[in-house]
């Protein structure tokens, strides 16, 4: 841990920003916690921790934070996730190379929409 702090200090001397972002997601149904998740992103490494999930899994969907100017004309730009995966209840997963993304977490195995909502079934 001391080496990591020293490394961040040296990088800051050269103008490199090694920021840290923390995302905490909780879903409560009828007073009971259905999902409790924590994600920490630091220096391009994201650590996803599924603290508690009623289903036994935390389902993560990552979307790009921004779309290019050409993609913004395409309404489905943010509908294409960067990555989707599940983490078992009480477990963690670490992924390197992630920087700018929007995070959606659910206790259900469904593909989240761009607003982190579950897509509605199509009417037929």
pLDDT computed for residue 87 by the predictor: 97
What residue ranges in the chain does DSSP mark as E strands?
A: 20-29, 32-42, 45-53, 57-64, 83-88, 92-96, 101-106
pLDDT for 124 beyond 50: no
pLDDT tens digit string along 20-61? Answer: 788 899 989 889 999 999 999 988 899 999 999 999 999 999
CB-based contact 87:93 (threshold 8 Å): yes
- The upper half-sphere exposure of residue 24, i.e. CA atoms within 13 Å in the direction of its Cβ, equals 0
Q: Quick check: pTM over 0.75?
A: no
Q: Where are the domains of the chain?
A: 18-106
Percent of the chain with pLDDT over 90: 33
Tell me the C-alpha distance between 94 and 2, whole Å: 21
Which CATH class, in words, describes the domain spanning 18-106? mainly beta
What is the rounded end-to-end Cα distance, in angstroms, of the chain?
56
């Amino acid at each position: 841990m001391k080496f990591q702090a020293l490394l961040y200090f040296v990088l800051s001397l050269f103008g490199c920003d090694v920021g840290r972002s923390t995302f905490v997601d909780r879903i409560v149904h009828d007073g009971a916690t259905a999902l409790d998740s924590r994600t920490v992103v630091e220096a391009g490494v994201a650590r996803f921790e599924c603290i508690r999930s009623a289903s036994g899994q935390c389902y993560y969907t990552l979307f790009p934070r921004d779309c290019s100017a050409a993609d913004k004309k395409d309404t489905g730009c943010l509908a294409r996730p960067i990555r989707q995966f599940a983490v078992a209840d009480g477990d963690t997963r670490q992924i390197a190379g992630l920087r700018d993304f929007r995070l959606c977490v659910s206790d259900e195995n469904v593909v989240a929409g761009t607003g982190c909502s579950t897509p509605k079934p199509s009417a037929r």
